[in-house]
Amino acid sequence: MLNTMIDAHVQCLENLKPMAPVLKTAGDMLLQCLLDGGKLMICGNGGSASDAQHFAAEIVGRFERERRAYPAVALSTDTSILTAVGNDYGYREVFARQVAGLGRSGDVLIGISTSGHSENIVRAVEQAASSGLKTIGLLGKDGGTLSRLVDQAIVVDSATTARIQEAHIFILHYWAWLIESGLPQTHGDPV
């Protein structure tokens, strides 16, 4: 079984090669947002929430080189907001409400969903669009509803959630590298 899983993983990553132009376009959108003084907002459920946190940490902290911190927030991290909004407005609004409160024109929202149908991600993207944010969908399977709503859809062509998630973290690492490559170099204290 291990060899089968490795082969499927490698094939899923190989399938990203023809997507190089769209992956670069999305990464450039993220870089330009930060260079223009905007922030990145990332949301997802379950493993995708972990990916959102991972990516935000690499933007605020660092990926591979010392540099100043840049603004990125994973919308899945504040349990008080998640539970208050979930209780008062319903789970479908837990990310949209944060986008409404924190998002500004010029920011970028990344919605991560292996199915492309997560209702709370759909609502966040709709709120982002009405608030003037650009949107990227990091998706799987056929892209689902989200592929038609976002400004830039990145669809990993796989039916297996684990393979999609493995490709998503690879893409997020590529974007972190692309962003750092385009950010100004700093010397001395990284803060």
State yes or no: 38 annotated in a binding site.
no
Residue range 58-104, pLDDT digits in tens = 999 999 999 999 999 999 999 999 999 999 999 999 999 999 999 99
How many Cβ atoms from other residues are within 10 Å of residue 50's Cβ?
16
Q: Flag whether 190 is in a domain.
A: no
State yes or no: 187 annotated in a binding site.
no
Number of structural domains (the chain) is 1
CA angle 28, 60, 167 (to 5 degrees): 55
State yes or no: 173 annotated in a binding site.
yes
Q: Flag whether 188 is in a domain.
A: no
Cα(121)–Cα(95) distance, integer angstroms: 7
**Which CATH number covers residue 173?**
3.40.50.10490
Q: Flag whether 189 is in a domain.
A: no
pTM (two decimals): 0.95
- Which domain does 64 fall in, by range? 2-182
